Amino acid sequence: MAVKLELKKRRTQGNVTLSLEWIKAIINRGDAANQLLSQVKGMVDGSIGVHDKKWLTEIINWAPQGGLPLTETAKWFKLAKRVADLDEEEEGFFTLSDYQVTLVWSRLIDPEYKVTGLPSAFVEFIMGFQQASGRHFPEEEPDEVKGSEEGSDEIEETD
């Protein structure tokens, strides 16, 4: 059965570090200063984010050190083309066939597929993929047992 995966722009979190000299140079260029300010405002208000196309593209294009035979990558061609054609400004549902879901999942659980960080937008995308596909990592924290006390996202003050 096909899976409808919701693709969207996800707000990014983190810090932006800029040198004072670089900022001065941008300000002195006039119009470039407006572009920089527009980009920073977009990151602050959430209108600029990371589209899920980025994560799908990274998963599809990954190859272990030393690469893969072209014949091994051929099974990714149709999905790679469809993802490459996505508009990063549009949000909505992207249909994956059972075969494509299996391809993506097999890549995610490949012991050679390693990550060097967990940006919140990537984590949200993976969790959305898991929810849509019904697949979960065996090492993942289990869902809360019904009736148990759920954790809070708020920080409690200490006495």
What three-state secondary structure class fits 4?
Answer: strand
Token readout for 50 is 């990371």
Please provide the DSSP assignment of 7-49 as one string.
E-EE---S-----HHHHHHHHHTTHHHHHHHHHHHHHHHTSS-
Q: What pLDDT is stored for residue 120 in this prediction?
A: 86
| Burial status of residue 26 (CB atoms within 10 A of its CB: 0-12, 13-18, 19 or more) | middle
Q: Measured between alpha carbons, how far is 93 from 142 in angstroms, rounded to an integer?
A: 27
Q: What are the structural domain ranges in the chain?
A: 3-13+46-133
pLDDT in single tens digits along all 159 residues of the chain: 899 999 998 877 655 666 777 777 777 777 767 777 776 776 666 666 788 999 999 999 999 999 999 999 999 999 999 999 999 889 999 999 999 999 999 999 999 999 988 888 899 999 999 999 999 998 888 766 555 555 666 777 766
Helical packing angle, 77-84 and 53-61, nearest 10°: 150
Question: What global pTM score does this model have?
Answer: 0.71
pLDDT reported for residue 29: 75
